[in-house]
Structure 1
Amino acid sequence: MSERVETCSCFCGDITAELKGEPFWINYDHDDDCRKAIGSPLNVWVGYRPSQFRLVSGELRTFSKTPGVVRSFCGRCGTSIGYEDVGIADELYLTIGFFDQPERFPPTVHGYWSMHLPWVTFGDGLDKKDTYTRDRDPATGTPADRKPKNVAKK
């Protein structure tokens, strides 16, 4: 049996990537930070180890609003690529929209269900967690704990 290989690309095609092996985690994410970053009512994150990811073309741009969380995107078209968080070491999360065959990644759980929008409904029977769906290093805190205190809301 051959190893699973998935391909990814951004909207304009400048960023392409390849992933080898199986993802270790696939989840719906309803939290408000990701909602703002992605521009969608929710996202599906697909978890791989950074060693499984190979950038084939392009150069990722990065942005960090929350200390310890670095989000990547295409600098030309703005497609969200993924994020890494110091609180969950050796894990890379890629947005479902970056995958060329997103239908191959059915989610297994809902994260941050307590933040889901009331008009988003599911009949999938999956577990609904009110916080993260992955174990985190408690020494780093959660992104909510690490949000900059001096950011003014408009």
Structure 2
Amino acid sequence: MARIERGHCFCGAVMAVMEGEPFWICFDHDDDCRRATGGPMTIWIGYRPHQVELTAGKPKTFSKTKGVIRSFCADCGTSIFYADEGLRDELYVSIGFMDAPERFPPQAQAYWDMHLPFINMADGLPRVDGYTRRRDPALGNPRER
């Protein structure tokens, strides 16, 4: 039986079901994500788009960064998805959207060089100064935006 996970926004207007194992789970310290989510960092859970099904509502989308589309609840503002043209066939779900976030231990720290100086983590995870996934370089990175 395939793994089934569920998520919903703070107000419950947007809900989704994720089926199967995520392929990647990562802390993200870059300033784009920090501003978009309103936190000092976030954790993104990577699924293939076909693994994710909206079951209620429709998120609003926003794009400030070339190739990146962020989704959030238009009513309560919960960050939901991150889609990136430079990461084809990958859809990232915000850990704050998940009903059981404790079931998604991260595998790495992305953009560690941009982490806030008061964040000290002794988790032993690899620290990468940029994306942890191979991304189309034509779309740039947070330092260039």
Q: With structure 1 as the length reference, what TM-score do the two structures score?
A: 0.91
1:139 and 1:114 mapped to 2: Cα distance?
Answer: 21
For this pair of structures, how many residues does the alignment match? 145
Equivalent in the alignment of 2:61: 62
What is the correspondence of 1:13-52 to structure 2 with a 5 Å cutoff? Answer: 13-52=12-51
Amino acid at match of 1:56: T
Equivalent in the alignment of 2:94: 95
Amino acid at match of 1:134: R
Q: CA deviation at 1:139?
A: 3.5
- Deviation string, structure 1 residues 125-153 (Cα, Å, up to 9, x no partner): 110000000001234333544x3xxxxxx
What is the correspondence of 1:102-141 to structure 2 with a 5 Å cutoff? Answer: 102-141=101-140
Amino acid at match of 1:69: V
1:39 and 1:139 mapped to 2: Cα distance?
Answer: 27
Report SS of the residue matched to 1:41. Answer: coil
1:18 and 1:34 mapped to 2: Cα distance?
Answer: 23
Q: CA deviation at 1:3?
A: 0.5
2:139 and 2:77 mapped to 1: Cα distance?
Answer: 29
Amino acid at match of 2:137: P
Q: What RMSD over aligned residues (CA atoms) do the two structures have, in Å?
A: 1.0
Work out which of the two has the higher radius of gyration on C-alpha atoms and give 1 or 2: 1
Q: With structure 2 as the length reference, what TM-score do the two structures score?
A: 0.97
1:136 and 1:68 mapped to 2: Cα distance?
Answer: 11
Whether the 8 Å CA contact 1:62–1:72 is kept in 2: the answer is yes
1:38 and 1:141 mapped to 2: Cα distance?
Answer: 20
Report SS of the residue matched to 1:132. Answer: coil
Amino acid at match of 2:98: F
1:127 and 1:16 mapped to 2: Cα distance?
Answer: 32
2:68 and 2:142 mapped to 1: Cα distance?
Answer: 7
Whether the 8 Å CA contact 2:14–2:55 is kept in 1: the answer is yes
Whether the 8 Å CA contact 1:48–1:93 is kept in 2: the answer is yes
Structure 2: runs of 5 or more not aligned: none
Structure 1: runs of 5 or more not aligned: 148-154
